[in-house]
Amino acid sequence: MLSFLSRARAPIAFAAIIGALLSPAAKAADMPFLPPQPVNDAPVEFGSGWYLRGDLGVSHVNNLNIDPALLSNALANNWTIGLGGGYQYNSWFRTELTADYESLYKKYDPGSNQTLCEIGAVGKPAGGPFTSSVPVNSLCTPVYHTRAEMVTLLTSAYLDLGNWAGFTPYVGAGVGANIFYLKNQVNWYQSNLAAYAGVTWTDPYTLGTYTANWDRAYSGTSVRFAYALMAGVAYDVSQHLKIDLGYRWLNLGRYDWTDRYGQSISKDLVLHQVRAGFRYMID
């Protein structure tokens, strides 16, 4: 009987020993090998130098002395509008990408150069047989439709020349492309306001048939290399907002025209712009 109880207690004792040995190991397994890492819930910053800009300005264009049947004698002074963005690397250097639109010229009016235009012919002598003919004329007036506009894309670099009580003068230069659109046409009208184009008559002497058409039209888009020089001053309205007033000299490339005397000319299209706008610092 004693031997039987001894044999029964052996498995129980063995299990107790194994449990005692495994208990510290189990507790050790529950302990992490590395301390918990803090969770960073702070927002990710976009950058500490990006800004947006917008500008309105007035623009003066050099006189190109262009044939009025193709364009006007001079492109008018006009307005310009621009949008863009840039990056301020430090307190003295920044770069920008900008796009500017300008309506250079838009005109619809009668010209002053009225001209006799032939609208028919009569034979001489009256009743025939004809030995010659005499033209029948009207006083014709041209009406001009002209539109010239452009979009200028520039990448520019600026030097900011220190901050003086909130004012920061600067100078800069840029290069890019100018997209120039031109549409011109001239339509001629008789003294009775009827269109001259399409008037058809037969010469009673020569028996030749003639159709009048003095109207001319042209439209096209061209792309030219453009470059600019800038200078101005910005004022700090707040930490994020600057008011910008500046001058820009803008060369839009060389264009081939016809002057008022019919001679071919080649000349740079140059603009002088005064612009006012803002710069908004994103951060």
How many CA within 13 A on the CB side of residue 172? 25
Domains present along the chain, CATH in parentheses: 49-114+143-196+216-281 (2.40.160.20)
Q: What is the pLDDT of residue 14?
A: 43
* 57-63: average pLDDT: 84
End-to-end CA distance of the chain: 90
Contact 75, 106 (CB under 8 A): no
Distance CA 143, CA 195 (A): 11
- The residues near 176 (Cβ < 8 Å, ≥ 6 apart) are 152, 153, 154, 155, 225, 226, 227
| 267 compared with 24, residue with greater pLDDT | 267
| 68 compared with 111, residue with greater pLDDT | 111
Q: What is the pLDDT of residue 259?
A: 63
pLDDT tens, residue by residue, 84-95: 999 999 999 999
Distance CA 202, CA 122 (A): 9
Band of the pLDDT at 11, cuts 50, 70, 90? very low
Q: CA distances (Å), 218 to each of 98, 180, 266, in order? A: 30, 14, 18
Distance CA 95, CA 49 (A): 10
Q: What is the pLDDT of residue 283?
A: 77
| 82 compared with 260, residue with greater pLDDT | 82
Q: What is the pLDDT of residue 105?
A: 78
pLDDT tens, residue by residue, 149-173: 899 999 999 999 999 999 999 999 9
* 220-230: average pLDDT: 94
CA R_g for the chain = 41
Q: CA nearest 88: which of 160, 173, 154?
A: 160
Burial class (CB in 10 A: 0-12, 13-18, 19+), 87: middle
Backbone angles phi, psi at 17, to 5 degrees: -65, -45
Residue 15 has pLDDT above 70, yes or no: no
Q: What is the pLDDT of residue 75?
A: 66
Of 43-57, 197-211, 221-235, the range with the lowest mean pLDDT is 43-57
pLDDT tens, residue by residue, 25-42: 444 444 444 455 554 554
The position carrying tokens 């590395």 is 34
Residues in the chain, how many? 283
Identify residue 247 by its one-letter amino acid code.
Answer: Y
| Neighbouring-strand partners of residue 235 | 167, 243
